[in-house]
Amino acid sequence: ANLVYNPPNRWGELPFAGRSFDLTWCWAALWYIQDPAGLLAELARTSRKLVFVAMPNNFQVGYWLRKLVIDREFFAHHDESWTDIGRIRRILEANGVQIIDQGVLDVPPWPDTVMPANEVLKRLGIRSKQLEEQFTGDGWRWSTMAYYLGQEPDLYERVMKYAWLDRAPLPWQVKAIWAHHRYLLGRVRE
């Protein structure tokens, strides 16, 4: 893979020819960058076939816990309007993308607070030796790279035992209460 640097103020001008890729995608980055709408237009312009966009799910329990209680500082400095999947959809459609699927991803049975469980407990003022031991140490640390490097071959099974809600035969709208991300998948119109 070639790493291509793009200056932070040029998200609306990616250095690729139109229709360069079969799939373009953005994972949870829109509220961090200077020109989110420009990037969405560029994803549409540079894709031959598909565009995938996922953002944090502003309906799920952990989002509100993070926003109102444990990490208010983050929301003071990031444009939360980019979690509005309807807004993202309208921009993609205006740029020639037909939405063919939408839903939720990453639906474990715990809220997404974007921080380690022991840090959440501290910020909530919960002091418990039992919980501290449960959510710290080697048993709690998961390393995706260790799995791919063959150092933790059992990681997949350890993680997937929590995927029962992901796999449950429920409508995605019901899963949205716990889902960490919402997504759109679109096909670029000819």
Q: What is the pLDDT of residue 121?
A: 77
Residue 9's pLDDT band (boundaries 50, 70, 90)?
Answer: very high
- Range 137-163 average pLDDT: 81
Looking at the domain that runs over 1-109+164-190, which CATH code has it been given?
3.40.50.150
The predicted model scores a pTM of 0.85
% the chain with pLDDT above 70: 94
Mean pLDDT computed over 67-95: 95
How is the chain split into domains, by residue range?
A: 1-109+164-190, 111-161
CB 39 within 8 A of CB 26: yes
Task: Quickly state the pLDDT bin for 141 (edges 50, 70, 90).
Answer: low
- The residue among 109, 87, 82 whose CA lies nearest residue 175 is 109
